[in-house]
Amino acid sequence: MKIGIAADHGGYALKEIILPFLKEHGHTVTDFGAYSLNNQDDYPDYIVPLARAVASQEVERGIAVCGSGVGAAIVANKIAGVRAALINDHFSAHQGVEDDDMNLLCLGGRVTGNMAAKDLIVAYLNATFTGAERHLRRLQKVQQLEQNH
Ligand code: RB5
């Protein structure tokens, strides 16, 4: 799968764990930065380019990491076509894709441990949108909001 990742300084250490993990699992990974640890950097500078790549389908799925995952989720959802969520549990990692077609997983680098993050990522990437009528209906309502904005 083509996957994009991005992190600010709060997520940088976890991104450095996730990147080789994804490659070991056979994924093609585009790293949108940060490319070094800079405690003064700002998460929108990395998460927005990733979110745009998800929206344009340059990558199939995104993974964004900041300190809590909150800022990453907030800014990613400003980009039309992105369905981002901060995920801290296994169930939501796959159900968010199955029901809500989540295409950008947000993690908290200061919250979620390395092994838990890997588990969430595997659950997220193995999941597919069911396409059930009720879920499509709900997604259309979300898309209408984007279009009316
Ligand atoms: C950076 O210190 C921190 O605020 C940021 O990584 C993130 O947690 C924001 O949601």
Residues 88, 55, 2, CA angle at the centre, nearest 5°?
Answer: 70
Q: How confident is the model at residue 71 (pLDDT cuts 50, 70, 90)?
A: very high
Report the alpha-carbon distance of residue 137 to residue 34 in Å, rounded. 37
- Catalytic (active site) residue 66: yes
Q: Write the CATH number for 93.
A: 3.40.1400.10
pTM more than 0.85: yes
DSSP string covering 62-78: EEEEESSSHHHHHHHTT
Domains contained in the chain, number = 1
Single out the residue of 6, 11, 18 nearest to residue 122, CA to CA: 18
Task: Decide whether any atom of ligand 1 lies within 6 Å of the 46 Cβ.
Answer: no
Task: Decide whether any atom of ligand 1 lies within 6 Å of the 112 Cβ.
Answer: no
Interval 3-30 mean pLDDT: 98
Task: Decide whether any atom of ligand 1 lies within 6 Å of the 66 Cβ.
Answer: yes
Owning domain of residue 24: 2-148
Residue with tokens 């969520």: 85
pLDDT in tens, 128-138: 999 999 999 99
